[in-house]
Amino acid sequence: MYKMIAIDIDDTLINDHKQITAGTRQALAEAVSRGVIVTLATGRMYASARQLAAQLALNVPLITYQGSLVKTSIDEQVLYERNVPQEAARFIYDYCQQSGLHLQLYHNDILYVRESNDKAEEYARLSKIPYTVEPDFESLIGKPNTKLLMIDQPDKLDSVAVELRGAIGQQVHITKSKPHFLEVVHKEGTKGDAIRFLAEHFGLKLEEVMAIGDSWNDREMLQAAGLGVAMGNAVDALKEIADYVTLSNNEDGVKHAVEKFVLSPSA
């Protein structure tokens, strides 16, 4: 019944040790052997997602930057791309300057920061992608940016999100991938937009797509997919809209969902 599976990476595909377990690898390999398209759908950069795709030997278009960039994993062909409108990017840049917020920009799949600090270093460790310090950081606002990301305390970012939605919410999509990550992409750059695009690209109905995630930035793809699966460790709000709640990322939740809905004879 399900011919495509889109899987979030952090706290979904990988466990708290940042590993893809052998059981999950085996279940996904079996799904691929049966002709199921398995892809990743992440807020991460393409370069970072590609590393995980290589571990799974996936040769498919990858959904990256929350859905703003869909790019093939082997020949690096861009299939779908949306950049943050420059007017909105300028507003966020000025806002972060005035508020003292750490801001990261993503241009041509390069992570740019104004200066090296703990936030940039921790993010680089998480994504396993180096950052580039750009002294003329403001000049990047005039270039196409796939994503803008702010890092701070969760409560502070919740307030920032409300303010930004009120000011530029018609131009961009604002979401959280983690409690301390506030991300801004084009309004048509969500995982839901990317899921719809890929389904059409492969000639599939959305009813034939399963999406698995854990955070609120996965909401749009769980709603778009025929079967939306929330991890056992997902935020409560995502569990409430999911069609099914699987085990946690430390209990092979992805493996459990794939075996139940794709590999079992009754699926």
- Residues annotated as catalytic (active site), given as ranges: 8
Which SS3 state, helix, strand or coil, does residue 176 take? strand
Cα atoms found within 13 Å of the Cα of residue 68, Cβ hemisphere only: 29
As a whole number of angstroms, the distance between CA 20 and CA 13 comes to 6
Phi then psi for residue 7, to 5 deg, are: -125, 125
Contact at 8 Å (CB) between 241 and 228? yes
Phi then psi for residue 163, to 5 deg, are: -65, -45
Structure tokens at 71: 């790019």
Query: What DSSP line would sit under 186-243, residue for residue?
Result: ETT-SHHHHHHHHHHHTT--GGGEEEEE-SGGGHHHHHHSSEEEE-TTS-HHHHHH-S
Strand order of the β-sheet with 209-213 is 37-40, 4-7, 209-213, 227-230, 244-245
As a whole number of angstroms, the distance between CA 159 and CA 64 comes to 26
Q: Cα 63 to the chain's mean position, in Å?
A: 7
